[in-house]
A and B are shown apart, each in its own frame.
Chain A
Amino acid sequence: MKRLLSLGPVLLSLAVVLSGCKPSAPDSGSTAPAAGSTSGGVPKPLTVAFLPKSKGNAYFIAARQGAEQAAKELGIKLLFDGPTEPDPAKQNEIVETWITRGVDVIAAACENREGISTALRKAQAHGIKVVTFDADALPEARSFFVNQATPEGIGNALTDEAARLLQGSGEYAIITASLTAGNMIEWQKAIEKRNAEKYPNLKRVALRPCDDLKDKAFAEATAILNANPNVKLLMAICSPAVPGAAEAVKQAGRVGQVKVIGLGLPNENKRYVKEGVTDTVILWRVVDLGRLTIHVAAALARGELKPGATEVTAGALGTFKISGDNVLLGEPFKFTKDNIDQFDF
Chain B
Amino acid sequence: MKRFGRELSVTASLLVLLAVLAVTAPAFFGKQQLLATLTAAAPVLVVACGMTLVILVRQIDISVGSQFAVCSIIAGLMARAGYPMVLVVPASIATGALLGAFNGWLVAALGLPSIVVTLATFVSWRETLRWVREGEFVKDLPDRFQWLGMGQSAGQGVILAVAALVFALLVYGLGWIALGRRVYAVGSDREAARLAGIRPGRVTWGAFVVLGALVGLAAVLNAIRFADVDPKTGTGLEMQVIAGVVVGGVAVSGGRGTLWGVLAGVLLLACISPALVFLKLPPQWEKAIQGGIILVAVAADRGGRSRLS
Binding site for B on A (CB under 8 A): 55-58, 61, 84, 179, 206-209, 211-215, 218-220, 222-224, 226-227, 229, 240, 243, 247, 251-252, 267-268, 271
Is B118 at the interface (CB under 8 A from chain A)? no
Interface members, chain B 216-268 (any A CB < 8 Å)? 222, 225-228, 230-233, 235-236
Other-chain contact of A222, B27, B36, B230, B284 (Cβ < 8 Å)? B36
How many A-B contacts at CB < 8 Å in the complex?
Answer: 97
Is B25 at the interface (CB under 8 A from chain A)? yes
Q: Which residues of A contact B273 (CB under 8 A)?
A: 219-220, 223
Q: Which residues of B contact A271 (CB under 8 A)?
A: 139-140, 227-228
Asked if A219 meets B40 with Cβ closer than 8 Å, knowing A55-B135, A56-B134, A179-B284, the reply is yes
Other-chain contact of A247, B133, B226, B284 (Cβ < 8 Å)? B226
Binding site for A on B (CB under 8 A): 25, 27-28, 30, 32-33, 36, 40, 127, 130, 133-137, 139-140, 152, 222, 225-228, 230-233, 235-236, 273-274, 277-278, 280, 283-284
CB distance from B89 to the nearest CB of A (A): 19
Asked if A227 meets B27 with Cβ closer than 8 Å, knowing A58-B137, A214-B137, A243-B228, the reply is yes
Question: How far, in whole Å, are A214 and B28 apart by their CA atoms in the complex?
Answer: 22
Q: Which residues of A contact B283 (CB under 8 A)?
A: 179, 207-209
Asked if A226 meets B133 with Cβ closer than 8 Å, knowing A208-B277, A215-B226, the reply is no
Q: Which residues of A contact B135 (CB under 8 A)?
A: 55-58, 61
CB distance from A12 to the nearest CB of B (A): 14
Asked if A223 meets B33 with Cβ closer than 8 Å, knowing A215-B230, A215-B233, the reply is yes
Residue of A nearest to B36 (CB): A222
B130 touches A222 (CB 8 A): no
Question: How far, in whole Å, are A251 and B33 apart by their CA atoms in the complex?
Answer: 11
Other-chain contact of B36, A58, A219, A240 (Cβ < 8 Å)? A219
A222 touches B33 (CB 8 A): yes
A55 touches B134 (CB 8 A): yes
CB distance from B297 to the nearest CB of A (A): 22
CB distance from A228 to the nearest CB of B (A): 8
Can you offer 10 A-B residue contacts whose CB atoms are under 8 A?
A: A56-B231, A58-B135, A208-B283, A215-B230, A222-B33, A223-B33, A243-B228, A247-B226, A268-B139, A271-B140
Question: How far, in whole Å, are A159 and B284 apart by their CA atoms in the complex?
Answer: 23
A268-B137, A271-B227 provided; 19 other pairs, C-beta below 8 A?
A: A55-B135, A61-B134, A84-B127, A211-B235, A213-B230, A214-B226, A214-B232, A215-B233, A219-B36, A219-B40, A222-B33, A223-B273, A223-B277, A226-B28, A226-B36, A227-B28, A240-B232, A247-B227, A252-B32
B231 touches A219 (CB 8 A): no
CB distance from B228 to the nearest CB of A (A): 7
CB distance from A120 to the nearest CB of B (A): 25
Q: Which residues of A contact B134 (CB under 8 A)?
A: 55-56, 58, 61
Q: Which residues of B contact A222 (CB under 8 A)?
A: 32-33, 36, 274
Q: Which residues of B contact A209 (CB under 8 A)?
A: 283
A229 touches B27 (CB 8 A): yes
Question: How far, in whole Å, are A179 and B137 apart by their CA atoms in the complex?
Answer: 24
A223 touches B233 (CB 8 A): no
B277 touches A215 (CB 8 A): no
A213 touches B36 (CB 8 A): no
Other-chain contact of B233, A56, A213, A219 (Cβ < 8 Å)? A213
Q: Which residues of A contact B233 (CB under 8 A)?
A: 213-215
| 9 residue pairs, one from A and one from B, having the closest CB atoms | A56-B135, A56-B130, A214-B230, A223-B277, A223-B274, A226-B33, A227-B278, A222-B36, A58-B135
Question: How far, in whole Å, are A179 and B277 apart by their CA atoms in the complex?
Answer: 15
Question: How far, in whole Å, are A206 and B30 apart by their CA atoms in the complex?
Answer: 19
Question: How far, in whole Å, are A272 and B126 apart by their CA atoms in the complex?
Answer: 28
Question: How far, in whole Å, are A264 and B291 apart by their CA atoms in the complex?
Answer: 32
Q: Which residues of A contact B225 (CB under 8 A)?
A: 218
Question: How far, in whole Å, are A213 and B69 apart by their CA atoms in the complex?
Answer: 12
Residue of B nearest to A85 (CB): B235
A226 touches B27 (CB 8 A): yes
Question: How far, in whole Å, are A208 and B286 apart by their CA atoms in the complex?
Answer: 10
Q: Which residues of B contact A207 (CB under 8 A)?
A: 283
CB distance from B58 to the nearest CB of A (A): 23
B230 touches A240 (CB 8 A): yes
CB distance from B107 to the nearest CB of A (A): 14
Question: How far, in whole Å, are A143 and B146 apart by their CA atoms in the complex?
Answer: 49
A219 touches B274 (CB 8 A): yes
Question: How far, in whole Å, are A58 and B225 apart by their CA atoms in the complex?
Answer: 22
Q: Which residues of A contact B28 (CB under 8 A)?
A: 226-227
B32 touches A55 (CB 8 A): no
Residue of A nearest to B25 (CB): A227
Question: How far, in whole Å, are A282 and B159 apart by their CA atoms in the complex?
Answer: 35
CB distance from A1 to the nearest CB of B (A): 13
